[in-house]
Structure formats: structure tokens, C-alpha cells
Amino acid sequence: MTDTASGDIETVAVDLADRRYVIRVGAGLIASAGTELADLIDGRHVVVIADEGLAGDHLGALEGALRQSAARRVDTLATPAGEAGKSFERYQDLCERTLALGIDRRTLLVAFGGGVIGDLAGFVAASLLRGLDFVQIPTTLLAQVDSSVGGKTGINTRSGKNLVGAFHQPRRVLIDTGILDTLPPRELLAGYAEVAKYGAIGDRAFFEWLERHGTDVIAGDPAARRQAIVASCRAKAEVVAGDERESAGGRRALLNFGHTFAHALEAMAGYDGSLLHGEAVAVGMVLAARLSVEAGACTGQDADRLARHLDTVGLRTELDAVDPSRGWTADALLGHMTRDKKARDGRIVFVLLDELGAARVRDDIDPALARALLSRPRAA
């Protein structure tokens, strides 16, 4: 994998043989999208699927850049963000609206928004005309470091999160770090949980760097933000290149650290916006670290260190702190976890820490350990 840097723009490669693509990271990439995507546009019809909340300067800048390119035609479809929007109804609506534009197999779709928009637009691209090329332009920190890279697309169902979808890799990812300056603090913090995840599961040096500079990332230091994003994208790109479709026992499953708990929390919250994905992941990672201790896999010091770091940057890490009135119950959460798409033959699959910077996938954990942990959600 060859990464490059040019001025203030860095390039991270995702090596997937004939489907190799690059992630471009830096400020100003939205305004220069026409130039950045010129080789892909090349006279094609371009359809932007955008978060309707971006229908201002950001969307105008992207549309202007694309219309100054060699695109044959540029159309924009706006749709609401939010996990509740990752539904069959919204997916069908976007498919119908896209088809109504008179697309063909050369049409290029552009996902412009956070992780929900990327997942939806990517699934639309994977489905229409048996597969259209698409580009990810993520506008939240979480989408920039996680969901925009790797080709996972999909929607939620009543049974759980992301249970209907497809693997469909983007042709390119443009990460404009400047847009984070306009991101609400809560969204920024939620995205930071995924950044910390990469250090926790596979790069202790990066985790230690985050301990020193994580507050700078949150505060808006441009260099710290770009370094955190590039390191996160590089980590995910390496995993995806080696295990694109998350094979049984493969490395990609490590990216689910904390997510078995997180997806259950989100399902119980009803995807109503009261609990963001990254907020659930922060709680889930701490629970997974504590379960690692209970299972004899890592030390309590490492689990406490992870929780302390997330607390320091401003993330909530306890179930009761997320919503004391929610009434989480161990049995209800475990019920959702057994229906998680990662479950194997009825067994819950967890990603546990051996230590900070090293993790493994486990499907041999006694559910009683998780039940006991969830029954006493506050740290000792």
C-alpha cells in the first residue's frame, strides 16, 4: 500500500486489485471536487445524494464544482439524515427518485453527508442497474474515519442494524477536513469514538498519541485532525485490503470492537436520535474492555485507561450516563446481541482486548459474564 502527500492533501490507498481506490484527505476538497473527480466524471451523468441538512454553502460549493467539470449533467437528490432514515421506505424512495432522472449504467452517484447518507447512497448504487459507480464525500468525522471506507452499505430493520445491505466499494473517497469546523460538537465527539477504536484494537502508539493530542483533535487543531483522520483511514484501508468481506475469523471483524454492545443499545433506543452511533460505540468499547477483564483477556488497568481517555475528551462511557431513564436491562440487550449479524450459530461474537493495541475475535464467551456486566453498568 503506497500513501502519498502533496502540500496539505494526503492520499491513502485501498488496495483491492482491480478495484483499487484512493482516499484523499485535506482541506478544500469539496470546492475542488470537479478537479479531484475529473477522471471519473468524464462526460457522465452525476447524481448527488445529499443530506438535506447540508443544503447551504457546502452543497452549493459541491454542485458548483461538479457543474464546472466535464459532467454531462448534474442532479441532486436531498434526503434526511439520521438512523431512522436507514429504512426500506427511504431506500425505495431514493431508488425511485434516482431512476426517474433517466440514469444509465455510466451514471456516477456521489454520497454527500454522514454515515447514514453514505450507507443509503452506497446501497442504492449497489442495487440500481445491478451496480453503479459511486464516490463518498463524507461530512462527519465518524463517516470520514469509518463508514465511508471499506464498501459496507445497507439499511436497518426492526430486527437490528445494517441487516440488509451489500458490499460495494466506492471509486474514490474525498475527505474535506475543513467541513469539520461546522460540525456540531456532539457529532464530532461521536466520530472520535471510532478514531480511538483504531488505537485500541491495533496500534498502541496511535492510542498513546491520542492520549496526548485527542483534545486537540476535538478542539479543532487542523494538523492534529488531519493526522488522526489519515491514521484512522490507513488502519481501516489495511484491514479492508486483507479481508474485504469480513470472512469468518478474519481481521475485518476486529473493526467491530464495541459494536456488539453498541448496536444493541441503538436498537433499544429505536434509532430516534437520542443516542448517536459513536456515542453507543464509546459505551460499547468500555463494556467490551471490561468484559475482556472478566474473561481474563486483559488487565483492569488497560480497561480503565480506555475509559479514562474517552471520558477526558468528553464522551460518556456508562450506560446510566447515556440515559438514566432508558431502563436498559441485561436480558433485553442480550436479546438484541444474539440477533446481531455477527452472531454465529446462536453464539454472540465479541471483540475483546488482550491489551491496549491488540484485540481478537471471541465466540466462546459465556453469556453469563456479559449478563453480569450489563447488570452492573457503572464502573466499580
Select which of 161, 277, 336, 342 is catalytic.
277
107 SS3 class: coil
Residues 6+ apart with CB under 8 A from 276: 186, 187, 190
Q: Which of 44, 152, 234, 309 is catalytic?
A: 152
- Whole-angstrom CA distances from 69 to 11, 22, 77, 306 are 22, 20, 19, 46
How far is 156 from 344, CA to CA, in rounded Å? 20
Nearest to 380 by CA among 311, 307, 296: 307
Catalytic residue among 86, 171, 251, 256: 256
In angstroms, the CA 170 to CA 126 distance is 10
Half-sphere exposure of residue 69: CA atoms within 13 angstroms, side-chain side = 27
d(CA 108, CA 45) in angstroms, rounded, equals: 6
User: Residue 173's closest CA among 141, 144, 132, 153?
Assistant: 144
Q: Say whether 246 is catalytic.
A: yes
Q: What is the rounded CA–CA span in Å between residue 131 and residue 168?
A: 8
d(CA 379, CA 376): 8
Nearest Cα residue to 201 out of 243, 254, 238? 254
Helix 300-313 / helix 204-219 crossing angle, nearest 10 deg: 20
Q: Is the dihedral of CA 224, 216, 182, 201 positive or negative?
A: positive
Q: Are strands 350-355 and 4-6 parallel, antiparallel or unpaired?
A: unpaired
To the query of whether residue 96 is one of the catalytic residues in this protein, the response is no
User: Of residues 194, 244, 266, 279, which has the active-site annotation?
Assistant: 194
**What is the distance between the alpha carbons of residues 140 and 146, in angstroms, rounded to a whole number?**
10
- Selected catalytic residue, list 10, 63, 187, 246: 246
Between the alpha carbon of residue 64 and those of residues 35, 60, 130, 316, 365, the distances in Å are 12, 6, 29, 39, 53
Residue type for position 163: L
| Active-site residue, selected from the candidate residues 90, 172, 236, 342 | 236
89 is catalytic: no
Catalytic residue among 263, 290, 309, 336: 263
Closest CA to 337 of 364, 370, 359: 370
Q: Give me the active site residues, please.
A: 130, 152, 194, 236, 246, 252, 256, 259, 263, 277
